Structure 1
């Protein structure tokens, strides 16, 4: 049941096949043997591309840049971070490609450009059934340089919304703002980053002070 490090042993994959695949995802169906010998069949694993999201602040106002977008799974518009998938145009190395994807998605969805976003958080969206990771970035230098440029095909459309960061934290805490869980994790990680990072840009100090007051007063 446990390995040499006293961790649960991985299952053995006895048989595996692709049962569905399109440009968005691949569904793998496995026949597995658990550590205690039980057979689990089928067990479905969804293969998605690597994902990114970005906590971007307007350089002048230090407001958080969000998007308001219809989400078909929920059936209504949802406020969220700029986010998307890492694809082939972003580069070969996953660290380089993820950072490039964050910059690309921010420009495409909002018209804002950032030059050097910092990696904030790496997480597993759902390790029970998904094999990908999501990487979250933070940037304080976003500037509006263009109009949004959505992907061709008509399915992508969102509104750019700028909000006070502390107000967003408060609304998440009160339950007034319900967001995707990975975005919530990134936003709270951003709050910690703002509090703990010693070499923040000088213009970010007022934001640091507001976050500190919200959390500790």
Structure 2
């Protein structure tokens, strides 16, 4: 059994470019010498997720339609950001306020930075826990957002994951990390 080795990048060209999505076509040489001339990579902004816990031990989730999947999902507040333009923690706080109208006076607690789909995507997900969160204002939604704020009792988060009601990968991962941090697992 051998140790995995990185691929050698021979050539890279942009197939499509937009501020929110770039599709790159790479030509790579595999460790076994085989050349793949059409390995496509999606360059996307990073994501910031927040697990917002209120003083009443409720987690503020959002329910919204996701067009690529064609379904409505229950998930944690989250959004995209460019790491060269904004800190992950600032993006998480911004998304929390925009999607839910909630704020916290305490610093966010970093839970992890994970890779969303490292086989094809470049983006990472930055996961945070926010405590003593309270809703203080109206949502600040953009034109594509129609979001319902859904408080969920902390002890109901795990059952909602296990039943499949919460099934967005970044939300599931952050829920498990936050529940473990809070001594709920």
Q: Provide the TM-score with structure 1 as the length reference.
A: 0.80
Find the aligned partners of 2:97 and 2:166 in 1 and give their Cα distance.
Answer: 25
Match of 1:66 in 2: 61
Picking from 158, 166, 174, the partner of 2:155 is 166
Q: Does 1:183 align with 2:171?
A: yes
Q: Does 1:122 align with 2:125?
A: no
Higher RCO, Cα 8 Å, sep 6+:
2
Alignment of 1:10-25 (within 5 A): 10-25=6-21
The alpha-carbon deviation at position 171 of structure 1 amounts to 2.3
Find the aligned partners of 2:38 and 2:112 in 1 and give their Cα distance.
Answer: 32
Find the aligned partners of 1:63 and 1:21 in 2 and give their Cα distance.
Answer: 41
Match of 1:201 in 2: none
The residue matched to 2:150 in structure 1 has which SS? strand
The alpha-carbon deviation at position 88 of structure 1 amounts to 7.2
Find the aligned partners of 1:148 and 1:90 in 2 and give their Cα distance.
Answer: 23
Contact 2:75 2:166 in 1 (8 A): no
Picking from 137, 150, 160, the partner of 2:141 is 150
Computed over aligned residues only, the root mean square deviation of the Cα atoms, in angstroms, reads 1.7
Aligned length: 184
Q: Where do 4+ consecutive residues of structure 1 move more than 3 Å? A: 87-91
Match of 1:53 in 2: 49
Normalized per residue, which structure has more helix? 1
Structure 1 pair 108–120 and aligned structure 2 pair: CA distance change class (3 A): same
Deviations 1:139-180 (CA, angstroms, capped at 9, x unpaired): 1121211100112xx2122110001122120121233x1421
The alpha-carbon deviation at position 90 of structure 1 amounts to 5.7
The alpha-carbon deviation at position 133 of structure 1 amounts to 1.0
Match of 1:102 in 2: 92
The residue matched to 2:26 in structure 1 has which SS? strand
Find the aligned partners of 1:108 and 1:178 in 2 and give their Cα distance.
Answer: 21
**Gapped runs of 5+ residues in structure 1?**
92-96, 196-210
Match of 1:208 in 2: none
